[in-house]
Structure 1
Amino acid sequence: MPPKTSKKKRLVTTCPKKKKPSVEVEEVLSDVEEPAGSPQSPSPPTDAQDGQPDDADVPTMSAPEKKKAAVILTDEQEVEFGEWLRSNPFLYTKQLKEYKNTQRKTRVWAEKAAELGQKSGTLLRTYYESVRSKVGKITDTKSGSSTKDLTERDNFIITNFGFLQTHISRMRGRTAISLKSQLATTIPASQPPS
């Protein structure tokens, strides 16, 4: 009589590159004969269609996905927000003394967020920063670049938030220098070794 093969289950934790740990059940076959009186481990319920174990009872662990809260404003609210922003220059003008008063700015952002029905002033400020970045990208003219065809949204942003353009300070880009060329200019190649 051939030896009995028994199925044992082992939990294996895997961590793929997505950083979401999951737990899988791995069946391990062993060719060990079990004594006649020993109870066998119960087999997992199988799916009647394909004969495979049902995965409904297999424990899985995954990190909960965090949803980023978004600020959703109607066109009228965006126009109102642009006018409000224009009337509060201490929020974006670095030359003003009140620009450094972070407590006041935080309070004003929170009040406006509540007025617009948003969750927090921090989210509204993030929205403002993204709009300011968009204004900067639209109005940036680099040497040699052709004029861009503006979308309807781009025109809307320029119309309502274009005043921010004068308050955007652009950083100079760094020029990449090859280390080989820098070494070649400092150490003459015709110099004999000492």
Structure 2
Amino acid sequence: MDAQSWGGTTTASDHKLVTADFVLTQARRLRFPRRPEAAQSLHIARDRLTYDDAIQDKYTTALKAAIRPTNETPVAQQWNSLMDLIHDTAEATIGVNTAPTRSKRYDDPVLAALSERQRALQIRIYHDRQASTWTLRQERNAIMHQIQLRCRDLANRALDEQIKLIESLSPTAQMFEAVRAINRTRVQPLLLHDAT
């Protein structure tokens, strides 16, 4: 609703004239509100920095090489540029964590082409009355089988990369990284307290 009040109108009373415009397309949004979408953010893989000595050395040398003293700029600007420099160096040397998702999607051109072909065949099966639906269904089923094999191959490649990453860590960190990789939900961090 968009309402406005108007002063200075000549009416018999001292009330103001109010006009209201009802936007009917907004009514559905009021009944079924949309959730605000969270912005995608990159999270630095801090566990790699904690447990992997090679990445620690690589990060410290890259950070030492990147930091340059600047005295001409104000202090607040120096802090902002330093924080940006630290974040960029960490992103380049340590890497980022990807958000876990239930459905794994791959950016693969072969998979995209197969999906487009099977979708076009599905539309032909539903709408083309002159075509032989039996042959179209056989062709679509063969494409769906190729999609399944391609997804399995891509999933195996992703698992091999994850195994290489876990095996490159120190022996004490391998178990923790493997448990993190298995659990899709974020695990609550454990805190160890001294008994004294």
Higher relative contact order (CA 8 A, sep 6+): 2
Give me the TM-score of the superposition, normalised by structure 1.
0.25
Larger helix proportion, structure 1 or 2? 2
Give me the TM-score of the superposition, normalised by structure 2.
0.24
